[in-house]
Structure 1
Amino acid sequence: MQFNKNKTVSIHQWYPFVEGYSKEFIESILNEIEYIPESVLEPFSGSGTTALELQFKNISCISFEVSPFMHLLSSVKLYNNYNVDTFNAFLFNLKDTLANLPRRVSNIRNIEKVPFGRTILKSDSLKKWNFHDESLDGILDVKYAISLVDDIAYRDLFRIALASILLEVSNVFRNGKCLSYKKDWQTRKILNRKDVHNLFLLKVENVIKNDIKLLEDLSHTTRINNYDQLHFGDVRTNILEVEDNSIDLIITSPPYLNSRDYTDIYMLELKVLDLVKNYDELNNLRKNTLRSHVQVKHGELCDLDIPTLQEYFTKISEKKVLLWNNDLLNMIRGYFLDMDHLFKQFKRVMQPEKYIYFNVANSAYFEEEVKVDIIISEIAIRHGFKLVEIRKARNLKSSSQQSEAIKSLRESVIIFKS
C-alpha cells in the first residue's frame, strides 16, 4: 500500500507521490480476481498508478482527477507517443537555453513572472518565505526554457521534471498535512541559478531519459491508450457521464478522512507551474475536492442513517466539552455523504458479479475512532453491494492529538462484489 516501492520503478519514479500505492497492488488484484477486466474505473487518479499499470497490460481504464497538478502528472505518465529522437532534440535545446540564459538575461523576472502568493519570496512583512531569491530565479530560468518547447506533450513532461525538484530547492518540506520549514532553511547553502539548472537536468537525464526509450518500445505493443480516458474535474459530477453497466472492476484509494487538504500539500507545484493563478482559483479547487478537510465551509449537513456512523455521533455527543469544532463534524458528515453518492453511482455503472477494491484508513476525532472501513461497507451494502472482505493492510499512527486515547488506526482494502 506504499508508493515507496515505486521510487525506482520506470515511469512511476518521475515524481515521488507519497500518498499513492505501489504497482504491486494493481498486480495482486489482477492475479486475485477470476476474470480479465475489460473496463476499469479509477475515480481518484492521483499519480496515475492504476491507469498506467493497466495500460501496460492492455486493459482500458477510465480515471478522474480534480487536482490540476495530479491530472498533469497522470497525463504525462499515460502519454504513450513519446519519441527518443524528439525528446533528445528538445533536451539539447533546453540545455543550450539554460547555459546561455544567465549571460543573456540578468533579471529573469522581466520575462518570467513570479508565481502568485505572499509567501513565495522574502519581503519585509514576512518572517519566513518559500524560496530564496537565487533559487527562485533558477526555477524561473527553467520555466522559461520549458516554455520554448513547442510540443505540449514534451513541455508538460519537462514541467513534471521541474515539479519533482521544487521541494529540494525550496525552504520547506512535506510534513504530513502541510508544508513545514526545514530546520536549517535560513542558514543552509543557498542554491544559485546554475545549481537549480543542474538539478533539473540531472532529473531529466538520469531518471526520465531512459524511460522514454522504454515507452517508445512499449508503444509498438500496447493497444490501449488510457491517456484519452483520463478526465479532469470533480468525480462526484463527472462520474454521471460513465455509461450504465459499463465497468467490470473499480480500483481506487480516495482521500482519507484525515483533514488533509492536498491543495495545501502540493501548493508549491500548483503555484510554480501556474496551475492556480490566484486565490479565487485556489478556493474553487478546494470546493471541488472530496469533503475530507475543513478548508471549505459547507454549512450544516445531515447525518447519514448508517448504524456505525450514528454510533460514533452518539459517543461524541456525550463529550460536550469537545464539540467546539463543528467544522470537523461537518467534514465527517460530508465525507460519508460523498461516499454515499459515489457508491450509488458505482452500482449504476458496474456490471453484475464484479469487484471493487477500495483502499481507506480509519480516523480519530474527539478521542473516538471513526471506523471508516466499516461505515463505507455499510453504505455499499445499502446500495446493493456484497461485502467480500475488509482486509487489513497495516496500522497507521494516530495524530498526536488523539494518540493518548487511540494508539493506531487500521488501513484497509475493502473488497465488494456487485
Structure 2
Amino acid sequence: MSADAVQEIKKTDAIKDTILLGQIEELDKSLIEYFPDTVVVDNALTRKLVSFQANKTRTYYRWYKYKEAFSADLVEYLFHKHKVVKGKILDPFAGAGTALFVCSSLGYDSEGIELLPIGQKIIRANVLARGPNKQSIVSGLENWLIQRPWNTEGEIQDFEVLRITDGAYPEKTHHKIGRYLNELQGKPLKTKEILLFALLSVLESISYTRKDGQYLRWDYRSGRRNGKNPFDKGKILPFDEAIVEKLNEIKDDINFGDSEGDLFSSMQEDIQTGDVTLLEGSCLEVLPKLESRAYSGIITSPPYCNRYDYTRTYALEHALLGVNEIGLANLRQAMLSCTVENKVKALIDLNPEWQTAISICDGLPLLQGILNYLDYKKDKKELNNSGIARMVRGYFYEMACVIQECYRVLDKEGMMFMVNDNVRYAGAAISVDTILSKIAEDIGFEIEKILVLPQGKGNSSQQMGKHGREVLRKCVYVWKKDK
C-alpha cells in the first residue's frame, strides 16, 4: 500500500473519530440539560472529605490506610444535611467499613456487603475493637508489646507468596512476619484478630512496594525491574518500628474512644450505637437475597470505572490471609467489572428480574453511543487495552442491576448516596454521574442532587498526552425513593 493510501485511511479514520466523539458530546450535553438544577457544585465537598485523607486524624478510622475509602466526616455531613430517618443502613460496597461504623455511632444499625478478604478483616477487627471486650483486648496488646515474641527464637509460620508478592519484604522482615504469625496461634480469638489486623495494617510500610491503583510499584532496592525509571518509595520501616507504633495507636484509640476530629460529636451525646453486620460476598450475589424495603438509607462508593484492580493492589494482604493464585483470580472475576480482565457476567442467570435494568441500559442513547465508540476503537486496535470496551460495558450493566436491587431494598422515603468519579477512555469523557443517575431515575429513584466537587479531577497521563487535559467531575449522588 502506498504512503498516500495510508495517509488517506488515517484521515478517514480521524474524521470518523471526530464524528463519533461529536455525537457523544451532544448526547452528553443533552443528558446534563435533562438534569438542569440537579448537577450542582457543593463547596463543602473537598477531595480530602471524599477520600481517606480526612480519616488520618480520626481515632479508629486511621488504623488501616484504605486509600479507596471515603471519610467518616463525609458520612456525617451527608446524614445530617439530608436528615436520613432512623432505621437500618446498607453499604453494598463496604470496603473498610467507614460508613458502617459512622452510621452505628449516629444510632443506625448498619449492614455492609464486602467481597475482598482484607475488607472483611478490617471490618471484623473494628467490630471487636468497639465491642464490649475492649479492655481485655487492650490488656492483650499491652502484654504483646512487652513480650515482643516475634524477636524470640522459635518456629516460623510460612505464609502464601504470590507471583506479584514474591520478594516483597527484606529477608529480616519476612522472618519476623513468620515469627509474629506463629506466636499468634495461642492467643485468645479476639486478641488474635486484632493482632493480625495490626500486622495487615503495616505490610505496605515494611515492604518494597507501594499501592498504585492498577498494580504494586516496586522500590529499586527489591531488585525487581519496575518500568523505565527506578522507583524510590522512601523509608522502608523496620518491622519493630512499624508494628510497635501501630499496636500503640490501636491501644490508645481504644482507650480514648472516637471523638477527636468528629464534626458532629457535640450532637451525638447519649446516642445508642447501632449494630454492625458484615455480609460476605459479591453484592451481585448478596443483594438479591436481602429483604425488600428493609433499609432507610444506603451509602456507598462502588469501584470506579478506572481499571483499578484491588486484588492486585491488596495482594500483600491477601497473600498473608492465605489467598492463592486461583483464589485471587476468582476474586477478580467476582468483583464488579472495573478491570480489563473481567469477563462478561451472565446477569440474567444470576437474577432474571434484572432484565429491567438491562433493558434500561439498552435504551440509553449516551451509554450506547459510548459503547459503540469503544467497540469501534477496539476493532481498529486503537485502545491501549482491548479489554476496556468489555469492562465499560460490564461496569454500567452490572451497576444498573445493583441500583435496581438498592431501589428494591430501600424503604419509602429512603435516601441513597453514592460517591463516584467520571472517567475518560480513547478521548471520550464518560459521564458516569449522569448515566447512572438516569438509570436510577428510570428504575424509580428521584434524583435530588448530583453534588460536584469544586475542583474536579484530571484524566490519566496517557489520556492527557493524546487528548489534552479535561477536568472530569468527581461527585456524590443523592437519590431518594419516594414510592
Same fold (TM over 0.5): yes
SS in 2 for 1:167: coil
From 264, 267, 292, the equivalent of 2:312 is 264
Matched, 1:379 2:416: no
Q: Give TM-score, length-normalised by structure 2.
A: 0.76
Residues 191 and 385 (structure 1 numbering): CA distance in 2 closer, same or farther, change over 3 Å? closer
From 158, 161, 164, the equivalent of 2:201 is 164
Runs of 5+ unmatched residues, structure 1: 122-128
From 398, 410, 415, the equivalent of 2:473 is 410
Q: Which residue of 2 aligns with 1:400?
A: 461
Contact 1:363 1:398 in 2 (8 A): yes
SS in 2 for 1:13: coil
Contact 2:340 2:388 in 1 (8 A): yes
Residues 335 and 93 (structure 1 numbering): CA distance in 2 closer, same or farther, change over 3 Å? same
Q: Which residue of 2 aligns with 1:288?
A: 334
- Shifted more, 309-318 versus 240-249: the winner is 309-318
Distance 1:4 1:69 in 2: 19
Contact 1:248 1:350 in 2 (8 A): yes
Contact 2:113 2:281 in 1 (8 A): yes
Q: Which of these two proteins has the greater Rg computed from alpha carbons?
A: 2
Residues 336 and 120 (structure 1 numbering): CA distance in 2 closer, same or farther, change over 3 Å? closer
Residues 353 and 185 (structure 1 numbering): CA distance in 2 closer, same or farther, change over 3 Å? same
Contact 2:113 2:279 in 1 (8 A): yes
List per-residue Cα deviations over 1:309-357 (Å, max 9, x = no partner): 0121344456453455442111111111111111111221112232211
Matched, 1:13 2:62: yes
Residues 15 and 216 (structure 1 numbering): CA distance in 2 closer, same or farther, change over 3 Å? closer
For residues 237-248 of structure 1, the aligned pairs below 5 Å read: 237-248=285-296
Contact 1:132 1:190 in 2 (8 A): no
Distance 1:283 1:188 in 2: 27
Aligned-pair identity (%): 24
C-alpha deviation, 1:231, in angstroms? 0.8
Contact 1:134 1:191 in 2 (8 A): no
Contact 1:361 1:372 in 2 (8 A): yes
Q: Which residue of 1 aligns with 2:245?
A: 202
Distance 2:342 2:161 in 1: 21
Distance 1:191 1:372 in 2: 38
| Bigger relative contact order (CA 8 A; separation at least 6) | 2
SS in 2 for 1:290: coil
Residues 143 and 225 (structure 1 numbering): CA distance in 2 closer, same or farther, change over 3 Å? farther
Between the two proteins, the alignment pairs up a number of residues equal to 398
For residues 35-54 of structure 1, the aligned pairs below 5 Å read: 35-54=84-103
C-alpha deviation, 1:22, in angstroms? 1.1
Q: Which residue of 1 aligns with 2:370?
A: 312
Q: Which residue of 1 aligns with 2:32?
A: none
- Shifted more, 299-308 versus 359-368: the winner is 299-308
Distance 1:34 1:351 in 2: 15
Distance 1:400 1:351 in 2: 43
Letter in 2 for 1:2: S
List per-residue Cα deviations over 1:55-78 (Å, max 9, x = no partner): 111111121101011111022123
Q: Which residue of 2 aligns with 1:358?
A: 418
List per-residue Cα deviations over 1:117-168 (Å, max 9, x = no partner): 24544xxxxxxx31121111111122222233222x2212111211121111
RMSD across aligned C-alpha pairs, in angstroms? 2.8
Residues 19 and 119 (structure 1 numbering): CA distance in 2 closer, same or farther, change over 3 Å? closer
SS in 2 for 1:395: coil
Distance 2:202 2:208 in 1: 12
Distance 2:418 2:393 in 1: 19
For residues 331-342 of structure 1, the aligned pairs below 5 Å read: 331-342=391-402
SS in 1 for 2:58: coil
Letter in 1 for 2:191: Y
Letter in 2 for 1:349: V
Q: Which residue of 2 aligns with 1:146?
A: 184
Matched, 1:226 2:275: yes
C-alpha deviation, 1:95, in angstroms? 3.6
Distance 1:232 1:364 in 2: 32
Distance 1:372 1:37 in 2: 30
C-alpha deviation, 1:369, in angstroms? 1.1
C-alpha deviation, 1:183, in angstroms? 4.2
Q: Which residue of 1 aligns with 2:162?
A: 117
Letter in 1 for 2:334: N
Q: Which residue of 2 aligns with 1:252?
A: 300
From 35, 50, 53, the equivalent of 1:4 is 53
Matched, 1:298 2:344: yes
SS in 2 for 1:397: coil
Residues 149 and 136 (structure 1 numbering): CA distance in 2 closer, same or farther, change over 3 Å? same
From 115, 128, 148, the equivalent of 1:66 is 115
List per-residue Cα deviations over 1:253-275 (Å, max 9, x = no partner): 1000001111111000111232x
SS in 1 for 2:148: helix
Distance 1:166 1:29 in 2: 33
Contact 1:40 1:251 in 2 (8 A): yes
Q: Give TM-score, length-normalised by structure 1.
A: 0.87
Letter in 2 for 1:328: I
SS in 2 for 1:373: helix
Contact 1:14 1:160 in 2 (8 A): no
Contact 2:208 2:236 in 1 (8 A): no
Residues 406 and 48 (structure 1 numbering): CA distance in 2 closer, same or farther, change over 3 Å? farther
Distance 1:406 1:40 in 2: 41
C-alpha deviation, 1:51, in angstroms? 0.6
Runs of 5+ unmatched residues, structure 2: 1-49, 224-231, 260-264, 348-357
SS in 1 for 2:199: helix
List per-residue Cα deviations over 1:196-225 (Å, max 9, x = no partner): 1342122111x111222245999x966444
